[in-house]
Amino acid sequence: MEFGTILGLVGAAAASFFGAKFIGNVDDRVEDRKRGTMKLAVWAEQNGLGVLSNLLENYTVDARTEVISSIRELVDVIRDETKSKEALDKFLRVQLAKRLGTAEGKKQVFDIMGEILNVKIDPEAFVKTPAAIGEVPPAPQEGASVS
């Protein structure tokens, strides 16, 4: 075998190796970006941002037609006052539920409400009523006086 042929084979092998390595690194970066996007989609869903979550999920799985559809849906929500209000209400309810689930979060919510309303609100002053905790008060018994 001639020296030029051997050199050509070694060069082709080296080029193939480095080319595959480059493509592999690009692929790893794409996969990392997709993993991050999927985590963001899960976070968005858990925080009451379903429209954004749909867009991110479709992007993650390379569903181009669905991505375009999700973008249109997002634009529709932004432009439509009723849909925008519903989306904001859902987001706020999810956030309030999360905050009110802990003592620290509850204090934070009441502090913010106090600042906005310019009053002092004591979170301990609020007690759960039967309706608030899902209990139905007992019905008056027959013959009993109702006051």
Residues 107 and 126: beta-carbon distance below 8 Å: no
> 6 in a domain, yes or no?
no
First to last CA, the chain: 111
pLDDT tens figures, 79-136: 889 998 999 899 889 988 888 888 888 888 888 888 998 888 777 777 666 665 555 5
pLDDT, residue 132, reads: 57
Q: How far apart are CA 144 and CA 29, in angstroms?
A: 74
> 72 in a domain, yes or no?
yes
> 66 in a domain, yes or no?
yes
Expressed as residue numbers, the domain containing 48 is 34-79
pLDDT tens figures, 4-31: 666 566 666 667 766 766 666 566 777 8
pLDDT tens figures, 42-83: 999 998 888 889 889 998 888 889 989 999 998 898 888 999
> 20 in a domain, yes or no?
no
> 41 in a domain, yes or no?
yes
Q: How far apart are CA 23 and CA 20, in angstroms?
A: 5
> 42 in a domain, yes or no?
yes
Instruction: Tell me how many domains the chain contains.
Output: 1
Q: Which two tokens stand for residue 75?
A: 């634009």
CA-wise closest residue to 14 among 1, 2, 25, 6: 6
pTM of the model: 0.57
> 134 in a domain, yes or no?
no
> 38 in a domain, yes or no?
yes
